[in-house]
Structure 1
């Protein structure tokens, strides 16, 4: 029905605004390869690009009533995708700052009076207990990053995961460790963890 490079795009947008899923599928199929290439160049991650493209078209669909008023649909798609890609990169940068801060606390390189009150032996025993409760992949990623000192890129190559996925796993592990410590230790060093997350999230 809608072929040849969306020859009647205005009509197509009207159909989408009315909830026509076939019309939306045509729009999606036409723009997805273009948007994907654009986003992949920004993020340098195929996995992230796929997720961002899906989110972009989900937003377009949920806001479809406004489509008849869009003069340049292609540009509209690019702007949404660009904004979502930038949001994703900001999140990764924020999470990386959090990880860097917490790695310093693990290694004892950060001077923090609250953490110093926690006996190191019990501290690391609790962390090990928390890690044992996690899936094997999360344990592996954490140990490769924290204990082997590998970069996110090195870990992603070894495990066949995207760099952003490695980052997300590490953030998930740290959240779990914080929660575990809160439940299993009444020592005042927990305040260090809580304050670190409040400042950086």
Structure 2
């Protein structure tokens, strides 16, 4: 996205409120990629993430009469998308504790992987490795490393035994260690390994 210009974007919102479709398309182009990147971190499904992005802009258009009162356009847009993402997670998640954890992560918008800002390929590489695993293993990894749940809590949420959860996590980490070391990237993978095996 270009440099944030709240005054210019407030004018765009005012035009949208006056049914200006070109202004709406302009705002969509400004935000759609960043919003998609935000949503997919929590939804992990490209199709569902795209649907949430579309629904976000549909809501903005549908409620365009309130736009002239918006003082901070970016904050408003991200509030809408956070709420849409939370509602999605609330629908699909079986346990509310996990949703609460993900919501907290959403609000902070940071985690250990994101803090490795100089390693632009790190998150992509880890996610690529995870996609090779079963849905169950992906879910358990996310619960453990991203939601911060204990083995006991994961066992409770999945219906597996605590020892089985522990064994699965060992299998996942062993695989990711192999995957990361087997894939050549331009940056050092040691900080990624430190994140995974800490």
Tell me the TM-score normalized by structure 1: 0.44
- Which protein is bigger by CA-based radius of gyration? 1
